[in-house]
Structure 1
Amino acid sequence: MEQSIKEQLLGLAEPDFQKFTAALIPNIDNVLGVRLPLLRKLAKAIAQGDWRTYLAHAESDYFEEVMLQGMVIGTVKAEIEEMLRYVAAFVPKINNWSVCDSFCIGLKFTNNHKEAVWDFLQPYLVSELEYEIRFGVVMLLDFYIEEPYIERLLSLLDQTKRETYYVQMAVAWAISICYIKLPGPTLAYLENNSLDDFTYNKALQKITESYRVDQTSKQIIRGMKRKTKGKR
């Protein structure tokens, strides 16, 4: 009898890798410890079969089960409307940065449907939920840091509610990549924005840590740091 997906994942789990992964994602406690290349291989196999039935009945007891669903969605081919329905159904399952970021980078169909996905993302960017916002921000980061979108993208980042850590870190990360790819408009934004101090300073830090930014620019960025009163 063919093994269930859960049985396959349990068979691929490694106790030492479980400890490593669990330490990286402190807010969840359902990690099995399956390496990502093995999950991708399994996702590819599922995508070549009856993936719609799989997604309709997939279980989400373990971190890897959720990660696998996201990978399958990123692997399959379907019309854009159907793809976005699967994305919308998956987003509420995101409860950590790892699933969020892995899911986003896998949604390569975005490259061929920029405007449709841009419109689709807008409600997530004004959500009240931490990982819905992070999903929207990381999608912008992965697919929209380019000339036609940069002004609108920076404006959206500036308006995004970001009282929660994983949103603040995603916004800071996105701004740093904006600066690396398009320093002119991003520097102008950094000189006039409404970011909270933590997100703003974290964005500057990430810029100065990048090997793709020259030393002169790093000095300028360091000089823009805001002084904060004993905050993180």
Structure 2
Amino acid sequence: MEMTLKEQLLELAEPGYQAFSAALIPNINNVLGVRLPELRKIAKKMATGNWTGNFIENQAEWFEEVMVHGMIIGYLKADIDEVLYHIAAFIPSIDNWSVCDSFCAGLKVTQKHKEHVWDFLQPYFESTNEYDLRFAVVMLLNYYVDDIYLDAVLKKLDGIKHEAYYVKMAVAWAISICFIKMPEPTMTYLKSNSLDNDTFNKALQKITESFRVDQETKRIIRSMKRK
């Protein structure tokens, strides 16, 4: 008889890795300690079967169960509207940065349906929920920092006014990616924006931490820090 997802995860859990993994995600306490490559293997296999029943019948108890659920959606070979249906159903399960960022990174189907997914993302920018917003921002930095979308991306980022730490950090991260990929238009934005000081300064810090930015540019970026 095939093992349930929970049984597979319990078998793969490593106590040593659990302590390391849990320390990276301070706001949750349900980490088993299963490594990401193992989770991906499970998700890839489950994506070809009747996985929806598994998650509907069994309420997720562990962080890794939620991770696998998100990864499965990224592996689905389905019509874009069906994938978006599953994405929308999954988003309320996101309650930490790790699940959010891993989920977004797996949604590579976006690359083939950028306009469609862009439209899908818009309501999430209006949400007051911390992880709805982080999801939308991380999707931008993964898939929309390009010639076509950059102006719209910067406008969206500038319009986010939320005090949650993981929203601010996502916005700062996204702006740093914009700068690294497209420095000139992003520099123009950095000189005139409505970001709060914390987010602005964090964006500058992330730019200076990149090995893809030269030393002279880093010097200029550091000089822009708000007091």
Provide TM-score, normalisation by structure 1: 0.96
Matched residue type, 2:151: E
Secondary structure in 2 matching 1:188: helix
Give the CA deviation at 1:3: 1.4
1:26-37 matched pairs, under 5 angstroms: 26-37=26-37
Measured in 2, the distance between the counterparts of 1:138 and 1:102 equals 10
| Residue aligning to 2:184 | 184
Q: Which residue of 2 aligns with 1:71?
A: 71
Instruction: Indicate the SS of the match to 1:210.
Output: coil
Give per-residue Cα distances to partners, 1:29-86, cap 9 Å, x unaligned.
0000000000000001111222343344353110000000000000011111111000
Q: Match for residue 118 of structure 1?
A: 118
Question: Which digits, 9 at most, give the CA deviation of each residue in 1:180-231, with x for residues without a partner?
Answer: 000011000000000000000000000011000011111111111000xxxx
Equivalent residues of 1:126, 1:161 under 8 A apart = no
1:193 and 1:89 map into 2 onto residues whose CA distance is: 34
Distance 1:83 1:134 in 2: 19
SS for the counterpart of 1:127 is coil
1:153 corresponding residue in structure 2: 153
- d(CA) in 2 for partners of 1:55, 1:108: 22
Instruction: Tell me if structure 1 keeps the 8 A contact 2:32–2:62.
Output: yes
* Matched ranges for 1:92-107 at <5 A: 92-107=92-107
Structure 1: distance between partners of 2:116 and 2:8: 36
Paired residue type of 1:5: L
Q: Is the 8 A contact 1:47 1:76 kept in 2?
A: yes
Letter in 2 for 1:46: M
Work out the percentage of aligned pairs sharing the same amino acid: 63
Give structure 1 regions of 4+ aligned residues with deviation exceeding 4 angstroms.
none
Aligned to 1:14: 14
For 1:84, the equivalent position in structure 2 comes to 84
CA contact (8 A) 1:31 1:62 kept: yes
Deviation at 1:126, TM superposition (A): 1.4
Give the alignment's Cα RMSD to 1 decimal: 0.9
Q: String of CA shifts for 1:74-100, please: whole Å, max 9, x gaps.
A: 001111111100000000000000000
State the match for 1:207 in structure 2.
Answer: 207
Question: 5 Å matches for 1:162-181?
Answer: 162-181=162-181
Provide the residue aligned with 1:222 in structure 2: 222
2:60: which partner in 1?
Answer: 60
Unpaired stretches in structure 1, ≥5 consecutive residues: 228-232
Are the equivalent residues in 2 in contact too, given 1:144–1:153 (CA < 8 A)? yes
Separation of aligned partners in 1, 2:41 and 2:104: 18
Q: Does the 8 A contact of 1:145 with 1:153 survive in 2?
A: yes
Aligned residues: 227
The one-letter amino acid of 2:34's match is V
Contact conserved, 1:208 with 1:221, CA < 8 A, in 2?
Answer: yes
Question: Would the aligned equivalents of 2:128 and 2:162 in 1 still touch at CA under 8 Å?
Answer: no
Residues 113-160 of structure 1, C-alpha deviations (whole Å, 9 max, x = no match): 001100110111111000000000000000000010000100000001
Q: Contact 1:134–1:170 at 8 Å: present in 2 too?
A: yes
